[in-house]
Amino acid sequence: MIAIQEEDIDIVHLINGAKSKNNGAMSIFIGTVRDDDIEALSFECHIEVALENLHDIAKQATELFHLSTIDIIHRIGTLSITDTILVILVSAGHRKEAIEGCAWILERIKESVPIWKKDLLKDGQRWHD
């Protein structure tokens, strides 16, 4: 599943969906909102372009790391401290491919997917680069 959504992410559902007799490993990245003297974070994006980019990243990662499944779900909207922002779950035959593939996907998302983050502060707001 590749999605951009406002709703919380059902991580257990993703794990169960990635289980297979051929997969020996899963790697999961869960990004959450941390307290950096903010009230919350707000995420916006160009959904069509972002989804296209996420699909391209998943295709490249599948080929590079021989991944069996890839789930990438990014939330948009206003998220509170400790809320889940992003889940990347990949499965593969072996742990090395799963771990490296998951890390590679995260870096590509940060580099190229048009998702914008804004800090919501007690006295205003601040966009991230």
Segments forming the whole domain that contains residue 96: 2-122
Average pLDDT over residues 12-23: 94
State pTM to two decimals: 0.94
At 36-86, the pLDDT tens digits run 899 999 999 999 999 999 999 999 999 999 999 999 999 999 999 999 999
Mean residue pLDDT across the chain: 96
Q: What is the pLDDT of residue 129?
A: 74
* 3-class DSSP state of 65: helix
User: Which amino acid belongs to residue 51?
Assistant: L
Q: Is residue 84 part of a domain?
A: yes
Predicted confidence (pLDDT) per residue in 82-129, tens digit: 999 999 999 999 999 999 999 999 999 999 999 999 999 999 998 987
Judge whether 127 lies within some domain.
no
Pairing state between β 67-75 and 84-92: antiparallel
Domain with residue 14: its CATH number is 3.90.1170.40
Residue 47 placed within a domain: yes
Q: SS3 for 75? A: strand
Tell me the Ramachandran region of residue 63: left when phi exceeds 0, alpha when psi lies from -120 to 50, beta otherwise.
alpha
d(CA 76, CA 46): 10
In the prediction, which pLDDT does 97 show? 97
